[in-house]
Amino acid sequence: MAERAETGAVAAETSVVPGVGQRRRGWVIAGVAVLLSGVLGFHRLVPNWPGRVGSLIESFLPWGGVLVAVLLVVALVRRSAVALVALLLPVGVWVDTFGGLLLPGEEGDGRELVVVQHNVSDENRDPAGTVRALIGSGADLVALEELVDPQVAVYEKSLAADYPHHVVRGTVGLWSKHPLSGEQVVDIKPPSIEEGWSRGVRAVVHSPYGDVAAYVAHLPSVRVGVGGLASQRRDESASLLGRAITDESVEAVILLGDLNGVVEDRGLRPLTSQLSFAETGFAFSFPAAFPVARIDQIMARSATVGHIRTLPATGSDHLPVVARVALE
């Protein structure tokens, strides 16, 4: 009798403990789901110190959807009803935040300019091939960064027939099918960078739909290291560019550039607070081999940026991005 009782107790213990473990794991998944929802929905509340952790999270925010999918698979394997219900929260937040980017763009009313933004890379070994890809887009405006000798001469010569108007200042340039005027350097150099650094240009495009002030900019690079995200120079440059656009006298503005940041990144708030950007299309542009973020941006004022997409890879480590910009 004692032996049978002991055997029964062991059997009861082994039948209960796994169930308890599963329930606990279900609650852990649910807790992670709630935490992920908070990060997705309230990322602005994440402090940016130390290491600009807030900006770092925002740089990869859309990939939160992958984490949601992983949690969903785990919850299904564990057969946890609690976890599955909790996962409805991050799914809803992600869809509300990024779901619209999956929708196709709407047709415009014809008052549009097709614009292309591309960091061509100062190590590009095929500038002529890059030009062919850009011309094939049929763009009205083409903005290029990392223009260095001797490649810049190739771009100027190869684009001349399709884009008779252009301006190059420092390492950035703008090519246009429409006349340009008021070409000038835009000083976006952070104080800690030595003289001779020039990555901003502005020109007025005399389009068939009215004048547009076009800005081309290449903000300083950011680095991810042990100390977090090193973006101080990028943030300072964004502030300088934001002030220039605020002071712009032409109402319609188009900004094209390698901004080394995604639109969710608070470091670009001096720009995103006053300019609109594409509401459809992810268009991850960097790195070209396996794009994980769109740091090449097209933004506008008194205009609407339509669906944004990438073009096929060129000889650069960035993918070109293209969008239609409808003037108001």
Confidence at residue 224, expressed as pLDDT on a 0 to 100 scale: 87
Only one residue has tokens 């190059």, namely 168
Average pLDDT over residues 223-244: 93
72-108 pLDDT, tens digit each: 999 999 999 999 999 999 999 999 999 999 988 776 6
pLDDT at 22: 62
Output the pTM of the full model: 0.89
Structure tokens at 182: 């008021």
- Comparing C-alpha atoms, which of 207, 171, 186, 209 is closest to residue 328? 209
Q: Is the pLDDT of residue 10 over 70?
A: no
Residue 227 in contact with residue 87, Cβ under 8 Å?
Answer: no
- Please state, in angstroms and rounded to a whole number, the distance separating the CA atoms of residues 244 and 123: 30
Report pLDDT digits (tens) over 281-318.
999 999 999 999 999 999 999 999 999 999 999 999 99
Residue 227: its pLDDT value, please? 79
Summarised one tens digit per residue, pLDDT across range 101-145 is 998 877 667 799 999 999 999 999 999 999 999 999 999 999 999
**Phi, psi (deg, nearest 5) at residue 245:** -70, -35
Helices (H), 160-217: none
